[in-house]
């Protein structure tokens, strides 16, 4: 173990009084923008299982198989229970930390969502304790996934999304590193509610929620006209006096839904469905990352290259944005997602998609509808022919 990791672990153990009594830190498993996550052994596992029983908190949650020590003859009933300890950086605002813990608490009974066991605070340092889930690195297994594998993976992801969205919570950061999946056991859990928010908590009315007719007249004199162009000296105002449009854009580039890029001020849980669609696009195209833009404008161009300028324009107008481009590679018509899959996997005319793969693409098209109000919901997704239990 790296020396700085070792000293960070020592510090964590000494910062929290009694830490060593309950937990034994094993190794660092993740380091992100907002936290460091460690794997640890919970030495008092049996005790807290009883605590849960008393509170009747976890009774409805059946844990997937966890990593265990090999059974020993001397103590056949002793199991080792591992936890993930998420040390949230002290630079995160207290409101943000509280938000993450509160939302996790609300979702504690949702299947396929990683439950929060407990959390501790010592002065400005907060740690969250979660059950440890063994998982693979997405980049090592996604290319080998068969259609039945993809179905199981997505069923688990959409189950987590259904629970989250039923609670009217937007996750905002759906991507492979936040969905811990073990290809061996085919279990997955959604983690990282650090950017999550309650639907409507920050919204202001957006055109996309208006009735069609009203929207048409408003679009005609839209104040939010924003244009995207490669080089149009006259097209992009130098001294833009229009008020800037503000919207929550938190998330990860490449996974942001078009309405997030268009700065929709009334974003819904549909943004997570788009991101889940991008995961499916990654798996089917065998390319990760599929979208690889440096900023939001580039991200719009990437999406426009697939969907075509015409549909992109319509999508922008939903939120009062004028999408315009002179980039020659962005055509008017765009391409079908089926074509994109065929090209990115280098399959010629002689090797068309199978019926199962076509169904997967159909499902993906429903997840990646440019219009958030027409996009499939998590609940509907689980009923979709591609994901239905009896479809395999």
Residues near Mg ion, by CB under 5 A:
32, 178, 192
Establish if 114 lies at the interface with ligand ADP (CB under 6 A). Answer: yes
Q: How many residues does the chain have?
A: 392
* Contact track, ligand ADP, 132-151, x by CB under 6 A: xx------------------
Segment 67 to 106, residues that bind ligand ADP, using CB under 6 A:
84, 86
Return the axis-axis angle of helices 337-344 and 270-285, rounded to nearest 10°.
Answer: 40
Main-chain phi, psi angles of 237, to 5 degrees: -60, 135
Pick what 303 binds: ligand ADP, Mg ion, none; C-beta below 5 to 8 Å, kind-dependent: none
Q: Which residue, judged by CB position, is nearest to Mg ion in the bound state?
A: 192
Options 25-33, 101-109, 200-208, 377-385: segment touching ligand ADP (CB under 6 A): 25-33
Given 173, 192, 240, 350, the catalytic residue: 173
CA–CA gap between residue 292 and residue 299 (Å, rounded): 8
For residue 42, indicate whether it is catalytic.
Answer: no
CA–CA gap between residue 4 and residue 10 (Å, rounded): 10
Half-sphere exposure of 35 (CA within 13 A, CB side): 24
Asked if 272 contacts 171 with a C-beta cutoff of 8 angstroms, the reply is yes
Options 172-180, 263-271, 305-313, 376-384: segment touching ligand ADP (CB under 6 A): 172-180
| Beta carbon nearer to Mg ion, 113 or 315 | 113
Asked if 117 contacts 131 with a C-beta cutoff of 8 angstroms, the reply is yes
Asked if 278 contacts 297 with a C-beta cutoff of 8 angstroms, the reply is no
Establish if 191 lies at the interface with ligand ADP (CB under 6 A). Answer: yes
| Beta carbon nearer to Mg ion, 178 or 226 | 178
CB of 97 to ligand ADP, least distance (A): 11
CB of 362 to ligand ADP, least distance (A): 30
Q: Where are the alpha helices (DSSP H) in 108-257?
A: 138-141, 147-166, 212-220
Residues 6+ away with beta carbon under 8 Å from 351? none
264-299 residues labelled b (16+ CB within 10 A) or e (exposed)? bbbbbbbbbbbbbbbbbbbbbbebeebbebeebeeb
| Beta carbon nearer to Mg ion, 58 or 190 | 190
Record the tokens describing residue 184, joined without a space: 């061996």
Pick what 84 binds: ligand ADP, Mg ion, none; C-beta below 5 to 8 Å, kind-dependent: ligand ADP
Q: Give the one residue of 7, 14, 32, 124 binding ligand ADP; rule: CB under 6 A.
A: 32
Catalytic residues: 173
Q: Using CB under 6 A as the criterion, which residues of the chain lie in contact with ligand ADP when the complex forms? A: 29-30, 32, 34-35, 37, 84, 86, 114, 130-133, 177-178, 180, 191-192, 194
């Amino acid at each position: 173990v790296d020396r700085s990791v070792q000293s960070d672990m020592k510090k964590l153990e000494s910062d929290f009084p009694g830490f060593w009594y309950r937990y034994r830190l094993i190794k660092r498993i993740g380091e992100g923008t907002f936290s460091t996550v460690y794997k640890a052994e919970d030495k008092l596992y049996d005790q807290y299982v009883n605590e849960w029983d008393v509170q009747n908190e976890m009774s409805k949650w059946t844990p997937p198989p966890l990593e265990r020590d090999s059974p020993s003859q001397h103590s056949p009933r002793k199991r080792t229970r591992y936890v993930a300890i998420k040390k949230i950086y002290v630079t995160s605002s207290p409101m943000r930390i509280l938000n993450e813990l509160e939302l996790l608490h609300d979702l504690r009974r949702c299947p396929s969502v990683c439950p929060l066991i407990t959390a501790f605070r010592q002065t400005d340092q907060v740690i969250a304790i979660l059950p440890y889930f063994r998982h693979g690195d997405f980049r090592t297994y996604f290319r080998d996934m068969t259609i039945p594998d993809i179905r199981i993976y997505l069923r688990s992801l959409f189950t987590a999304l259904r629970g989250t969205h039923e609670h009217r919570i937007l996750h905002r950061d759906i991507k492979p590193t936040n969905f811990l999946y073990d290809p061996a056991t085919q279990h997955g859990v959604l983690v990282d509610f650090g950017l999550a928010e309650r639907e409507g908590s920050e919204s202001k009315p957006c055109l996309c929620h208006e009735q069609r007719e009203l929207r048409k007249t408003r679009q005609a004199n839209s104040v939010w006209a924003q244009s995207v162009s490669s080089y149009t000296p006259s097209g992009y105002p130098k001294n833009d006096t229009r008020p800037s449009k503000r919207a929550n854009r938190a998330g990860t580039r490449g996974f942001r839904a078009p309405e997030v890029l268009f700065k929709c001020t009334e974003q819904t849980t549909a943004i997570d469905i788009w991101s889940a669609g991008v995961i499916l696009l990654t798996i089917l195209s065998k390319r990760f990352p599929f979208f690889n833009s440096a900023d939001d404008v580039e991200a719009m161009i990437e999406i426009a290259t697939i969907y075509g300028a015409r549909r992109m324009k319509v999508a922008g107008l939903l939120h009062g944005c004028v999408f315009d481009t002179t980039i020659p590679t962005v055509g008017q018509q765009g391409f079908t997602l089926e074509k994109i899959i065929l090209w990115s996997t280098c399959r010629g005319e002689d090797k068309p998609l199978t019926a199962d793969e076509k169904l997967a693409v159909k499902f993906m098209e429903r997840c990646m509808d440019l219009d958030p109000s027409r996009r499939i919901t998590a609940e509907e997704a689980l009923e979709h022919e591609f994901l239905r239990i009896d479809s395999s």
